[in-house]
Amino acid sequence: MSLETRVETEGDDRVLPFQIEASALRGRVVRMGPLLDEVLRHHAYPKPVAERLAEMLALAALLSGALKFEGVFTLQIKGDGPVKLMVADVTSAGHMRGYAQFDAAAVAALGTGPAPSVPRLFGAGYLALTVDQGAHTERYQGIVELTGATLAECVHGYFRQSEQLEAAVMVAARAPAGGGNRGWRAGALMLQRLPTEGTELVRDDADEAWRHALILMSSCSPAELTSADLPAEDLLFRLFHEDGVRVFRDHALEARCRCSRERVERVLEALPQQDLEEMKVEGEVVVTCEFCSRVYRFGDSEIAALAKS
Ligand SMILES: [Zn+2]
């Protein structure tokens, strides 16, 4: 038996869909643990950046579950504040990755107090949701201005603009106690409703059921959302048991980057010869994946071969 502290919890890194029986409202819970450690260990992000990226990963998994797609779902924020770019993506197979670009001095200047709000961290900018299903399909993209103090509020801004989806989300992330980079936690919860058809009475009942479910949902605390000791099923029971709650088959999530030497080669092949020459440092072109920090090196002869093909 290993004496190493077990950080993983049974049932982490997954999306669990559910239905509230009394109202037939659908939702999903996302729970993340080891996946976050794996994504974040490749970077040395300051805490406010790492925390928001953990939330972005949980939100990407949560929102992607609302769509039927084969390919890649991407959640991205671009801003003019200390953090310029934050990206989290998830494939239909549940493979996830993410990264951030930021001004280290500007992030440090925010101090070590409570987590900075979205406007302080990202400035003015936008949130984009993209679904890419490959070369021969149309890309879907939804874009909304960043409005709100939290990432959840920004996502609500997107829902308000979207005609199909009436939904609410909660998200929370928690850094490892005592620092270090193992033991990250994140959780997210989403409820959604479909347009109600029928008489005014039916619609009133549906509105009432929606408001009631939102109240139950809002009683969920960040500690419960990120808890390693409260399985997702138990959390749902705690929140919605009075209306009955049924869970469906869960989907596993895993930290896995899609970069490869072949993909990097294709990018380099597309560059003019002169650009490749200018990228050389001591006779080598070195490309580092922004998502996973893997390093790809190309020597003189390899560069010459790429330029010819
Ligand atoms: Zn990579």
Residues in the chain where the model's pLDDT stays below 70 = 1-10, 308-309
Domain assignment of residue 286, given as a range: 261-308
Same domain, 270 and 149: no
Question: 208: CA distance to ligand 1 center in Å?
Answer: 47
Cα 41 to Cα 8, 35, 60, 180, 288, distances in angstroms: 15, 10, 19, 10, 15
What's the pLDDT score for residue 2?
36
Question: 5: CA distance to ligand 1 center in Å?
Answer: 28
Question: 295: CA distance to ligand 1 center in Å?
Answer: 9
What's the pLDDT score for residue 10?
56
Question: 257: CA distance to ligand 1 center in Å?
Answer: 5
Signed CA dihedral, 141, 142, 144, 146: sign only: negative
Same domain, 29 and 155: yes
Structure tokens at 272: 């003019």
What's the pLDDT score for residue 249?
92
Domain annotation covers residue 7: no
Same domain, 143 and 167: yes
Question: 256: CA distance to ligand 1 center in Å?
Answer: 8
Last residue of a domain, one of 255, 274, 293: 255
Same domain, 132 and 239: yes
In 3D, which of 24, 41, 173 has the Cα closest to residue 97? 41
CB of 192 closer than 8 Å to CB of 66: yes
Question: 105: CA distance to ligand 1 center in Å?
Answer: 26
Same domain, 125 and 139: yes
Question: Bridge partners of 167?
Answer: 192
Same domain, 126 and 179: yes
Report the relative pairing of strands 254-255 and 95-102 from DSSP bridges.
parallel
Give the model confidence (pLDDT) of 191-217 as tens digits. 999 877 888 888 899 999 999 999 999
Domain annotation covers residue 4: no
CB of 39 closer than 8 Å to CB of 98: yes
Domain annotation covers residue 58: yes
What's the pLDDT score for residue 180?
79
Question: 52: CA distance to ligand 1 center in Å?
Answer: 20
Domain annotation covers residue 298: yes
Give the model confidence (pLDDT) of 158-202 as tens digits. 999 877 778 999 999 999 988 778 999 999 999 999 877 888 888
Domain annotation covers residue 5: no
Same domain, 235 and 105: yes
Rounded distance between C-alpha atoms, residue 258 and residue 71, angstroms: 12
Same domain, 302 and 183: no
Structure tokens at 222: 């960040």
Please enumerate in sequence order all residues whose Cβ is within 8 A of that of 223, keeping only pairs 6 or more positions apart, or say none.
Answer: none
Last residue of a domain, one of 255, 274, 299: 255
For 218, other C-beta atoms within 10 Å of its C-beta total 12
Domain of 275, CATH number, reads 3.90.1280.10
Q: Report phi then psi at 177, rounded to 5.
A: -65, 130
Question: 33: CA distance to ligand 1 center in Å?
Answer: 20
Structure tokens at 29: 């819970």
CB of 19 closer than 8 Å to CB of 245: yes
Same domain, 169 and 302: no
In 3D, which of 309, 307, 261, 266 has the Cα closest to residue 288? 261
Cα 57 to Cα 99, 144, 173, 214, 243, distances in angstroms: 10, 18, 10, 23, 30
Question: 259: CA distance to ligand 1 center in Å?
Answer: 4
Same domain, 151 and 272: no
Same domain, 166 and 109: yes
Q: How many domains does the chain have?
A: 2
Same domain, 139 and 285: no
Domain annotation covers residue 227: yes
- Number of alpha carbons in the 13 Å side-chain half-sphere of residue 243: 20
Domain annotation covers residue 231: yes
Domain of 170, CATH number, reads 3.55.30.10
